[in-house]
Structure 1
C-alpha cells in the first residue's frame, strides 16, 4: 500500500473523493468556484483547492 500523499486530482477523482458528480465539479470550475490547472487539455485540481471548495459549500440544502 502506498503512503504517498496525492497533491492533485482529476475531475473524476475529485468527484469520487467528495461524493458528487463530475458535472458538479466541472460546473464549479466553469463558475470559478473551483480553480483548476491545465498541464494538458484536461483539468486537475489541487488537493488544498478542492478541500477549500468543499469547506465553503453550504451546510444546509437550499430550495
Structure 2
C-alpha cells in the first residue's frame, strides 16, 4: 500500500480527474503536504476525503 500520492497518482487511484483532486485541495476538502515544492497527498487524507463524499447522488 502506498503511503502518499502525487496529484496525478491520487486521480488515478480514485478514478477522479486531476482537476477534481486539485479542486478538493483548493476548497480545503483535502490537505496536501509538501516535499520541497511538490504536493503530496497522504493515503489517509485521500481515504478520508473519499469517505466524506455524499452517500447519495445529487437530485436533479
TM-score by length of 2: 0.89
Distance 1:43 1:49 in 2: 13
CA drift of 1:6 comes to 1.4
Structure 1 gaps, min length 5 = none
Which protein is richer in strand relative to its size? 2
Separation (CA, whole Å) in 2 of partners of 1:61 and 1:40: 38
| Structure 2: unaligned runs, 5 residues or longer | none
Number of aligned residue pairs: give it: 59
Secondary structure at the aligned position of 2:37 is classed as: coil
TM-score, structure 1 length as denominator?
A: 0.85
